[in-house]
Amino acid sequence: MRRLAIVLLTAGCHVTLPVPLETNDSGVTDLDAMSVDGMTSPPLGDVEVDLGGEDARARDLGLHVVDSDAARAPDLGSDASDLPVDAAPDIPADVDPDGPLVPLGAFFQISAGHEHTCATLNDASVVCWGKASDGRRDVPDGLLALEVAAGGSHSCALTVADRVVCWGKDGHGQATAPDGAFVALAVGENHSCAISVEGRIECWGEAGMGRTNAPDGLFISLAVGRKHGCAIRFDDEVICWGDRAEGRTSPPDFPLPPTQVTAGGKHSCARLAGGDVVCWGSNGEAQRQVPPGNYAFVTAGDLHTCALAVNRRVVCWGKPDDGRTAPRDELFLQLDTSREHNCGVTLNGLGVCWGKEGDGRTNVPQR
């Protein structure tokens, strides 16, 4: 029996909700008619059709994204052929000659870690670049993944078999993934979390300040920052845990339901239905001062924040050092931030990174 899984892409992770296939009178699947536990699904931007093969992938069907620290922007009805195509970037001179070299247009999702970066490609393979110590770039042989998440000194991936696989530094057990089937993944500095197929959150790694004390309940969205995490429960309540300093785990009352949440260094943000973004926690670098706009997705870095507007443009604010908040000319499908750099996938599948350049973390290996 075929399974159609709605992929809700969120901060550093995606949530896959299996739903029954329903067809209209013409025999075509009617996405608007689908429901999950009695909830009618909103239009979504990424849908994965799992036919049982290991190469099943989430595909962008040109609908609206609900959630996405690794999400794709909603389709606003524009014909992609009418939008500008990004020029092929030059290969940086300091790209690791022994590392991967990705064909142009092959990027699907990029995750920005502390001093390294990882990405999934359209064929479900995974590549990493940047700082190589602690094995953080040593992707397991043959790994096929729906999503990858880069943390402090470790990385994790959600495989096409719904398992979590991690590699890199494991001093706190952050790279020792639990057994079981999962639908969402997010990693922090020295800990990791995932949502099980039942909808429950499980965390592992450094336990200080309660960062692995996952809340009870069933959740649809998950985000993990350096030392805290936030998630959206099925009843639309945002719950945060871990380091409570500066109010980062104390979300305000929202005027509209949150559709996506992100956790940064010392602050957190949520994207609300309708496109507004609300942030809470530390504001020492104005990382909570959201510019006016209509946003499809938000991602919190250490002392800065970036968002993807509904026109696919990137807007960043907060600490401007190293160009991390500099405006971009490209149109983006996906976006992620880390402590000091940002990465994303453009409309035509190019990988782009900017911000602090140390260790080659922003030197995307593409040709």
Q: Check if the beta carbon of residue 45 is closer than 8 Å to that of residue 64.
A: yes
- Kindly write down the DSSP assignment for every residue of 134-185, as one continuous string: GGTT-PPTT--EEEEEE-SSEEEEEETTS-EEEEE--TTSTT-PPSS-EEEE
User: In the sheet where 116-121 sits, what is the strand order?
Assistant: 107-112, 116-121, 126-130
CA–CA dist 89, 68 (Å, integer): 25
Task: Check pLDDT > 90 for residue 97.
Answer: no
Q: What is the pLDDT of residue 5?
A: 31
Question: The tokens of 156 are what?
Answer: 């994790």
Q: What is the pLDDT of residue 65?
A: 27
309 vs 43: which has the higher pLDDT: 309
Q: What's the mean pLDDT when you consider all of the chain?
A: 81
Task: Check pLDDT > 50 for residue 32.
Answer: no
Rounded to a whole number of angstroms, the CA Rg of the chain reads 19
The pTM of the full predicted model, rounded to 2 decimals, is 0.77
Q: What is the pLDDT of residues 170-188, one digit of tens each?
A: 999 999 999 999 999 999 9
Give the dihedral of Cα atoms 350, 74, 22, 57; nearest 10 deg.
Answer: 20
Helix segments in the chain, DSSP class H: none
Q: What is the pLDDT of residue 46?
A: 34
Q: Which residues contact 63 (CB under 8 A, 6 or more apart)?
A: 31, 43, 44, 45, 47, 74, 75
CA–CA dist 184, 223 (Å, integer): 10
Q: What is the pLDDT of residue 101?
A: 87
Q: What is the pLDDT of residue 44?
A: 29
Average pLDDT over residues 132-143: 97
CA–CA dist 125, 249 (Å, integer): 35
Q: What is the pLDDT of residue 313?
A: 98
Q: What is the pLDDT of residues 321-332, one digit of tens each?
A: 999 999 999 999
Average pLDDT over residues 132-148: 97
Q: 54-58, 152-156, 232-236: which has the minimum mean pLDDT? A: 54-58
Q: What is the pLDDT of residue 107?
A: 97
Question: What separation in angstroms does the CA of 37 have from each of 13, 34, 247?
Answer: 22, 10, 33
**pLDDT > 70 in the chain, percent:** 73
**pLDDT > 90 in the chain, percent:** 72
Question: What separation in angstroms does the CA of 224 have from each of 58, 149, 184, 243, 339?
Answer: 22, 10, 11, 11, 13
Q: What is the pLDDT of residue 100?
A: 73
Q: What is the pLDDT of residue 308?
A: 98
Average pLDDT over residues 199-228: 97
Q: What is the pLDDT of residues 1-19, one digit of tens each?
A: 222 233 333 333 333 333 3
**Residue 192 pLDDT class (50, 70, 90 cuts):** very high
Q: What is the pLDDT of residue 90?
A: 53
Residue 314: strand, helix, or coil? strand
Q: Check if the beta carbon of residue 185 is closer than 8 Å to that of residue 219.
A: no
Task: Check pLDDT > 90 for residue 94.
Answer: no
Q: What is the pLDDT of residue 98?
A: 64
User: In the sheet where 182-187 sits, what is the strand order?
Assistant: 182-187, 191-196, 201-205
Residue (of 98, 96, 166) closest to 130 by Cα position: 96
Average pLDDT over residues 303-309: 98
137 vs 96: which has the higher pLDDT: 137
Q: Check if the beta carbon of residue 199 is closer than 8 Å to that of residue 214.
A: no
Is the Cα dihedral 209, 212, 215, 221 positive or negative? Answer: positive
Average pLDDT over residues 210-219: 98
CA–CA dist 211, 203 (Å, integer): 8
